[in-house]
Structure 1
């Protein structure tokens, strides 16, 4: 699985003008299931993100996790993280998991974050979403559960 993790002071996702998820301080996680991914990878990625130390401690060093800060997580599915841009001008998305698998792993990932004790809001899988955020730092981290060519 792939994820783009952004430290935010607030974030919200809307679908057709209605809010489906909103958080204050915490993490916005754009997530994509790739072909061959499974539930174990969703769980592993959720654990890594929950413990990712990218929040400042009292000395101003990135030494605290979203768990440590009591923050929340907004999880948004984004299959375009699977984009292959190695050739041509149009990205290919054939390495993304099929929609039924992608949705199941997206839901599993969000549930695994909740199991860590985090408040989790979500977007709507497969929908045309609008995501608004205030990136804090900015801090943006790319994560992948496997090394891919």
Structure 2
């Protein structure tokens, strides 16, 4: 059963209209309609309110709707891009240290900036590099 069907069933079991639920949840009646017809999903705060109102766990509320589970699952690749244990962070630190501690004149500032950019945009820089390399190999 999809989340919308379950929300509608739970609301009807409580003998509530969409309008009453909307007032209770402090949302519009249209929002409740969208949730119940799988045209939109409640945010996490509203899911918690709904689970409290209907006296069921969040797990019981969402476990049967695979589409919704995929929508709220954490993208592991994105999570890895943003942590400080990736290669981009270490490569950037090396550039920063190299730029700060080795006197190369005006190049030191550029190398330091390159280090900070590498730490912040490693995944993007890697994609650009591989695309340029692929384009070069095709010519």
Larger Rg: 2
Higher strand share: 1
Q: Which has the higher helix share?
A: 2
- For the aligned pair, the TM-score class normalised by the smaller chain equals under 0.3
* Alignment TM-score, normalising by the size of structure 1: 0.17
TM-score computed with the length of structure 2 as normaliser: 0.18
